[in-house]
Amino acid sequence: MTSSNASTAYLTVACKDQPGIVAAVSGFLFSKNANIIHSDQHSSDPVGGRFFLRMEFHMKDLESKFEDFKKEFSETVAVKFEMIWTLTPAWIKKKTAILVSKFDHALMDLLWRAKRGELFTDITMVISNHPDLREAVESFGVTFHHIPVEKDKKEESEHKILELLNGKVDLIILARYMQILTSKLIESYPYKIINIHHSFLPAFVGADPYRRAGERGVKLIGATAHYVTEELDQGPIIEQDVIRVSHRHDIEELKILGRDIERQVLSRAVKWHLSQRVLVDGNKTVVFV
């Protein structure tokens, strides 16, 4: 924590679009002697749309005044515009849990970037339905939990996972976790679970997508990072990217390239989430980068 970070926070706002929002927010910040460092805003529609705002600001001694600041903003600004809002201190690392199965490419990339400070987060635990990645995870000094998932005891397993997570994490990353989450887990962490999956043009829904994409001769393969919602793989998209392929790539090579693009896309999505850059607008996202 630098002294600079201890006086920086991220404010996000979503509300019905109307005149005066920016004036109210920036007026409030000015009255507190806060200096806006970055600000982004978006209206989903010039007429009758939703308004989205993210501000990053500096304020002397913010840490000690944080709760008062929050209370006053709520009462004097947020209530008036019926805002859905967050205020996040930049000096506190969010706590993250990673769920994973056997593929380690996305997991390793996250552990590595967290270790070198590229992702400002504490990865407090890795949970897997397989024991294989224990050593790799523990070599980073991160706790590894093996929670097997048996077909008819799925709820039992997830109960254990929820107990491990309970109150301890701000973000859950599915880094190729090959189990479908129950509604209970999803509802406990609304827009706080990020999943990564492969993407193609067109999509190949179902089993063995790389083989089918290869058979169809696609010229691009990609990956999509999205928030997890009830509807499988249909949550708000945070980030996507692709890489060119050709007839020269066999299925094995497509998979290797797919892993590369998956870990890049996931790490970008996580990075943006951690600094409150991703706001949800219905089933899509506003990403202020």
Which CB sits closer to a copy of itself, 149 or 223? 223
In whole angstroms, the minimum distance from the beta carbon of 163 to a copy of itself comes to 32
Beta carbons within 8 Å of 104's beta carbon, 6+ residues apart: 133, 136
Q: How far is the CB of 262 from a copy of itself (least distance, A)?
A: 13
With binding defined as CB under 8 A, does residue 43 bind a copy of itself?
A: yes
* Residue 50 contacts a copy of itself per CB under 8 A: no
Q: Does 216 bind a copy of itself (CB under 8 A)?
A: yes
Number of residues that bind a copy of itself (CB under 8 A): 66
**Contact set for a copy of itself, span 12-31 (CB under 8 A):** 17-23, 26-27, 29-30
Residue 58 or 93 with smaller CB distance to a copy of itself: 58
Q: Which of 239, 266, 270, 273 binds a copy of itself (CB under 8 A)?
A: 239
**98 to 137: interface string for a copy of itself, x by CB under 8 A:** -------x--x---x---x-x-------------------
One residue of 35, 74, 76, 143 binding a copy of itself per CB under 8 A:
35
Among candidate residues 68, 104, 122, 233, the one labeled active-site is 233
| 143 is a contact residue toward a copy of itself (CB under 8 A) | no
Handedness of CA 261, 264, 266, 269 (dihedral sign): negative
| CA atoms lying within 13 Å on the CB side of residue 121 | 30
Angle, CA of 174, 280 and 159, to the nearest 5° = 35
Residue 119 to residues 110, 145, 197, Cα–Cα distance (Å): 8, 22, 20
CA distances from 125 to 160, 226, 236, 246 (A): 13, 21, 25, 39
179 lies in the binding site for a copy of itself (CB under 8 A): no
Binding site for a copy of itself (CB under 8 A): 4, 17-23, 26-27, 29-30, 33-44, 46, 58, 105, 108, 112, 116, 118, 139, 199-203, 215-220, 222, 224, 236-242, 246-248, 256, 260, 264, 281-287, 289
Catalytic residues: 233
